[in-house]
Structure 1
Amino acid sequence: MKESVGKLKALLSVLKGRNVVIQTHNFPDPDAIGTAFGLQNLLKHFGIEAVLVYCGKIDKLSTKLMIDELGIEIFNAVERQTCDSDYIITVDGQKNNANFTDIPGTEIACIDHHPWTTEYHYEFVDHRMFGACATIIVDYYLDNDIEIPVNVATALLYAIKVDTNNFCRRVTEDDIRAFSALNRISDGKLMTKLVSNELELTDLRAYGAAIQNIVVYDIIGFVHIPFDCPDGLVAMVSDFIMSLDSVQLAIVYADRDGGYKFSVRSEMDEISAGEITKLALEGIGDGGGHAEMAGGMIPPSGKQELGHHVDAPIRERFLNAYKKLLPEDC
């Protein structure tokens, strides 16, 4: 029996007769939203209604366009409050992660593709290290011979495309299988529209700050964006810094609610982006993720530990973490 057949049966058994909420990570990106939307439609196929919620904001134009064009109904948890009796499925992340706000209800299930870090006990877990979390949902459809509607296929394909950086990052055979299936079903014109509208005019301000503020130590590039901007944009600037031929490790951070939001990229086999972020922010914040890409946060309380001139101590923390993680023979 294919893995996703048994997994789906187990998930449906856990959710039977319950009010179901699907929660994405805070400030959700296309992979989180596409995963949630695909799962919502899948559960509906079996007579289970689910509500999609998130915390934070959705302020990236391309993500808003995805939601509007595909008819995705997703609510801010402040506007659509959950209750203690709700069963919550966390997607594209795990309970107790820094980017998952605790909301009323019982976190009963988790579907995720990030390295496993939580000690929380879920009744159901589907954890597979695919390039995108949405690929897990596609597996459910394909292995159980369930038809994928055009709008759902488009959402899932866009999610996988974005999270694998156009199928250039952490791509697995399952991601390719998902692409092959979704590409035949999805709305090609809408995909082109989504892909060609990923940058806003106001985003150029963040790129300008990156060009003006970049500091490079050997192969490590640091950028402080001195204003708040969407998570997706911080990640795009991080990818932009990685395009420099002299940079193999990029640390980009932007002001966020009295603290800082981090996006880290690594193309070094010896240094995991997730490990260096977690180690560098230990004691003042939190972070983690994949070997190639990671995120992190420093809350206002952690910022106070850095003093008035934050850039130097942040760089020092990452440089020290780099030295600790770098093998002695390198």
Structure 2
Amino acid sequence: MTKLDELISILTKEHVYIQMHNYPDQDALASAYGLQALLEIKGIKSTICYNGQIDKFNTLKMIELLHIDIYNNKEFSMEAEDEIILVDGQMGNVNMVNFIGRKVACIDHHPKQEVLEYRFYDIRSQIGACASLIAEYFVENKIEISMEIATALSYGIKMDTANLSRRASDLDIDMFCFLYKKADKDILFGFDNCSLRKNDLIAYQEAISNLKLYGRVGIARIGDDCSEAIIGSISDFLLTVSEVDFTLVYSYRVGGLKFSVRSESKTVDAGKVIKEALSGFGDGGGHATMAAGFLPNLNTKQEIDEMAHLIEQRVIEMVIKS
């Protein structure tokens, strides 16, 4: 049996939910969109859903131009017996809310969490993009892929691997080559030309003004209420500074501090660093090269400043020791 055959065999409902993480990015959206098409071919209807918000402009353009139907948790009602397939995230991750339905399957490329609840899982942390796993399902099952799905999946791979330069495995490269030939090049080009809005430039200005260097560690607080997407983008941006190979970028939002971490050091695991740094106060995790975390329940300026300083010091100490 192929992975797709295994997945289909464990589903008992004619309709399932495909759940993305709380702030869906291009890879999560592409993976859910591709999986929805595969399920449809096998006679299973599905609803793509998430909790939180989509706050990156080019992700919104994907939804618009590729006509992807997705639903926030406020827009549908789920029952306890409904079946959920998780994509690009797992239960136990800080950015995956626990919906009421049964989490029967998981397709992901992040480090493996607890998997006992799933009837099926395909979790390969050595792969750079979840979209590559979905693309492989099309290939190994000899299923024709539409231009729209190919466009979405190739863009998901492109973005999560930073143009195949970050954590790109042989599978990512092979699947991107396969998909790119079938994708709409004009739409892909259009996505790249709408990644920033004018207000985002203020956050970049804050990052440049507030950047602090500790050895090869770059840390920047970029103001309040910055989107998940822009925090991650600035973390990537600061990693291009020649003196930096580890970045910590954060913003105060939704009652807490949101952190984004990047590492180019072979001895420093970004996911482990942020998880340990937030231990006892919040939660975090991710890949060795890119990770995120959240520290909740901060209400006063003094609390925010004190906790920000503590997390900075914990990160600096761990990175310097590594």
TM-score in same-fold range (> 0.5): yes
CA contact (8 A) 1:19 1:85 kept: no
Equivalent of residue 102 in structure 1, options 98, 104, 129: 98
Distance 1:224 1:60 in 2: 19
Q: Are residues 1:218 and 2:215 paired?
A: yes
Give the match for residue 277 of structure 2.
280
Pick aligned residue for 1:90 from 86, 89, 100: 86
Match of 2:243 in 1: 246
Instruction: Output the CA distance in 2 between the equivalents of 1:112 and 1:20.
Output: 17
Q: Is 1:76 aligned to 2:72, yes or no?
A: yes
Distance in 2, matches of 1:321 and 1:120, equals: 32
Q: How many residues are treated as equivalent by the alignment? A: 321
Tell me how far apart the structure 2 counterparts of residues 170 and 282 of structure 1 sit (CA, whole Å): 26
Identity across the alignment (%)? 41
SS of the aligned residue for 2:75 comes to coil
SS in 1 for 2:224: coil
Matched-pair contact (CA < 8 Å) for 2:50–2:71: yes
> How far, CA to CA, are the matches of 1:306 and 1:275 in structure 2?
24
- CA deviation profile, 1:152-199 (whole Å, cap 9, x unmatched): 110001100000001100011111111111111110100100111111
Q: What root-mean-square deviation, in Å, do the aligned CA atoms of Structure 1 and Structure 2 show?
A: 1.7
- For normalisation by structure 1, the TM-score amounts to 0.93
Contact 1:97–1:118 (CA under 8 A) maintained in structure 2: no
Question: Could you tell me how far apart the structure 1 residues matched to 2:246 and 2:49 are?
Answer: 33
Q: Distance in 2 between matches of 1:304 and 1:255?
A: 10
Partner of 2:158: 161
- Letter aligned with residue 218 of structure 1: G
Q: Specify the alignment match of 1:195 in structure 2.
A: 192
Q: Structure 1 residues 189, 307: closer, same or farther in 2, change over 3 A?
A: closer
Say if 1:278 and 1:161 are closer, same or farther in 2 by CA, change over 3 A.
same
Structure 2 unaligned spans of 5+: none
5+ unaligned residues in a row in structure 1: which ranges? none
Contact 1:284 1:301 in 2 (8 A): no
Q: Does 1:38 align with 2:37?
A: no
Aligned-partner Cα distance in 2 for 1:12–1:187 = 29
The answer as to whether partners of 2:207 and 2:220 remain within 8 angstroms in 1 is yes
Task: Determine which of 286, 289, 293 is the counterpart of 2:286.
Answer: 289
Do the aligned partners of 1:32 and 1:133 also contact (CA within 8 Å) in 2?
yes
Give the Cα separation in 2 of the matches to 1:101 and 1:305: 29
Deviations 1:57-84 (A, max 9, x none): 1121111001000000000011123211
Cα deviation digits, residues 194-231 of structure 1 (max 9, x gap): 11111111110110110111111111011112211221
Query: With structure 2 as the length reference, what TM-score do the two structures score?
Result: 0.96
- Secondary structure of 2:206's counterpart equals helix
Q: Given the superposition, is the C-alpha separation of residues 281 and 304 from structure 1 closer, same or farther in structure 2, using an over 3 Å criterion? A: farther
